[in-house]
Structure 1
């Protein structure tokens, strides 16, 4: 289905929980996190109804996010169920990787196609600092197993920040030499906890690229994804740059988002939300109308650089 700006909307990102087993400092507060109670989040049965209807409208790609999606019991069975929907061609997940060693094989067998791993450092001590206690070795082991069972190409999402991890740009890039990984550098966005640190920590992707002078552009494949890809000479993998701040990609945006508490966000960076949960629970026959309304209400572009307020939600409340 096309939105009001004639963009083909084919991609639904679903947050299945606002809970996470890490506390990355730019994403979540260290303590006092207000968690949704059970009745506030959509059940897997409700999520299935939404995905089924969305597929009927032309959605062909679904990404499952959180919080951390693997902390919610039942996610493997949910993937198995939606994988049987005719017309749904791609099911992906974004995870911090902590529980991947346990779930990778089951996820693959259930019908998951691809994984994105959020990982901002390759140093154990620094990983503990950024995540407030996480174990890097768990993530690395999970990536290794996920790759071995066929959940590739593995994409590793990395936020580079001044004074935090800017000394690791080359190390992340070198991960692509021997493995078909896709390392994606994502600019820090002024959302939630990051809003107070963005001015001091922000590094544009243009600055990162200058540190990797050997990059060779990769011809864009047939997708509407936000990343621009490059490759190091003789590398098996690719290096992508996602630049929502310095070079927005709104003209090719092909997605809408569903929060864990049942709100549709036509744009990640807007406070505009449409309550799908109430309709679903009281007038389920109108789900399709709400989804159509959501797609047609997508704005032409975000306004992060216009001194307007970004989304009032933190990233873990929306879905990474």
Structure 2
């Protein structure tokens, strides 16, 4: 069992396999050039798996593959199969923008993937193109449908942006409700890599928009999810992720590994350590020692507020 310095059990590992992305979303990396990260800067799938294997042995029960856009890294299904074959009851999930899912969904499902979180910020082609700086919507919708058809459990993530997609929040909720998907609205996380004019909505403002059409009530928090959930009168549950608050930190159970081998204890905490050298030298004991040191130093609460602008590159850590 992995326990951090505040006696929280850590059983959730998020693994970023690439910082590359085929979108340039306003709230993430709108001005980053399209570029290749040299392979020598990344851990191979085999090296990443060495650490995942150890992490599972130490008590990790859930692994989420993230990016960037993880499907841009060739052969992702083989990495997923490595994990599934090692422990087939692991909660194995993926975060994606869905653009490459039409071709990849069946391979991912066959490899052992169980769940997928998909970004869907607009149902209007022109708005989606404005956000991603690319004509993406028809392909993203096809990707969502393909993932559904092959039997992957789907959650939808939406970042409400002021003056961009804010008139669509109810439409996106209804799109998900009709199809049986959970939707989570995510407060915009101010960061140095986002478009300088990007402005988001608070949880209270998101609730007010939805309340114009639907009655709902707040649910008590359960488990370790960062989402505050709400239930409509008809029983449909939606969530809002409020990163400016820290009430979900008390049950935080996650640690993050970047594609270059950096272990990050908290998304809003700059301190991190690299396991790259230990893994490349096959020094598993050293990698475990680093993991435990990182967890010992994991902060009790995130060190971020609405007045801060994070320097964290979310495309490196997978959010």
Are 2:224 and 2:248, in contact at CA under 8 Å, matched by a contact in 1? Answer: no
Indicate the residue corresponding to 2:157 in structure 1: 157
Indicate the residue corresponding to 2:315 in structure 1: 316
Structure 1 runs not aligned, ≥5 long:
none
Q: Taking structure 1 as reference, are residues 88 and 174 closer, same or farther at Cα in structure 2, changes over 3 Å only?
A: same
Indicate the residue corresponding to 2:273 in structure 1: 274
Matching of residue 56 in structure 1 with residue 57 in structure 2 = yes
Aligned residue for 2:95, secondary structure, equals strand
Hey, what's the Cα distance between the residues in 1 that align with 2:32 and 2:256? Answer: 26
Cα offset, 1:290, TM superposition: 1.2
Are 2:47 and 2:279, in contact at CA under 8 Å, matched by a contact in 1? Answer: yes
Hey, what's the Cα distance between the residues in 1 that align with 2:267 and 2:302? Answer: 8
The CA deviation string for residues 225-261 of structure 1, in whole angstroms up to 9 with x for no partner, is 11122233336x5311110114542111110001111
Indicate the residue corresponding to 1:173 in structure 2: 173
Indicate the residue corresponding to 1:185 in structure 2: 185
Are 2:121 and 2:128, in contact at CA under 8 Å, matched by a contact in 1? Answer: yes
Are 1:60 and 1:87, in contact at CA under 8 Å, matched by a contact in 2? Answer: no
More moved, 178-187 vs 276-285: 276-285
**Paired residue total:** 315
Structure 2 runs not aligned, ≥5 long:
none
Hey, what's the Cα distance between the residues in 2 that align with 1:134 and 1:248? Answer: 37
Cα offset, 1:172, TM superposition: 1.1
More moved, 301-310 vs 81-90: 301-310
Cα offset, 1:313, TM superposition: 3.3
Indicate the residue corresponding to 2:24 in structure 1: 23
Matching of residue 202 in structure 1 with residue 200 in structure 2 = yes
Aligned residue for 2:226, secondary structure, equals coil
Cα offset, 1:158, TM superposition: 0.5
Indicate the residue corresponding to 1:124 in structure 2: 125
Hey, what's the Cα distance between the residues in 2 that align with 1:81 and 1:134? Answer: 34
Cα offset, 1:282, TM superposition: 3.0
Indicate the residue corresponding to 2:85 in structure 1: 84
Matches within 5 A, 1:194-233: 194=194, 196-197=196-197, 201-213=199-211, 214-217=214-217, 223-233=223-233
Hey, what's the Cα distance between the residues in 1 that align with 2:206 and 2:34? Answer: 33
Hey, what's the Cα distance between the residues in 2 that align with 1:287 and 1:247? Answer: 29
Hey, what's the Cα distance between the residues in 2 that align with 1:300 and 1:128? Answer: 39
Q: Taking structure 1 as reference, are residues 10 and 31 closer, same or farther at Cα in structure 2, changes over 3 Å only?
A: closer
Hey, what's the Cα distance between the residues in 2 that align with 1:55 and 1:127? Answer: 38
Indicate the residue corresponding to 1:147 in structure 2: 148
More moved, 216-225 vs 66-75: 216-225
Hey, what's the Cα distance between the residues in 2 that align with 1:89 and 1:61? Answer: 6
Aligned residue for 1:164, secondary structure, equals coil
Query: How does the TM-score come out when normalised to structure 2?
Result: 0.92
Are 1:188 and 1:203, in contact at CA under 8 Å, matched by a contact in 2? Answer: yes
Cα offset, 1:267, TM superposition: 0.6
Indicate the residue corresponding to 2:74 in structure 1: 73
Aligned residue for 1:117, secondary structure, equals strand
Cα offset, 1:116, TM superposition: 0.2
Aligned residue for 1:193, secondary structure, equals coil
Aligned residue for 1:208, secondary structure, equals helix
Cα offset, 1:43, TM superposition: 0.3
Cα offset, 1:291, TM superposition: 1.2
C-alpha RMSD of matched pairs (Å)? 2.0
Matching of residue 239 in structure 1 with residue 242 in structure 2 = no
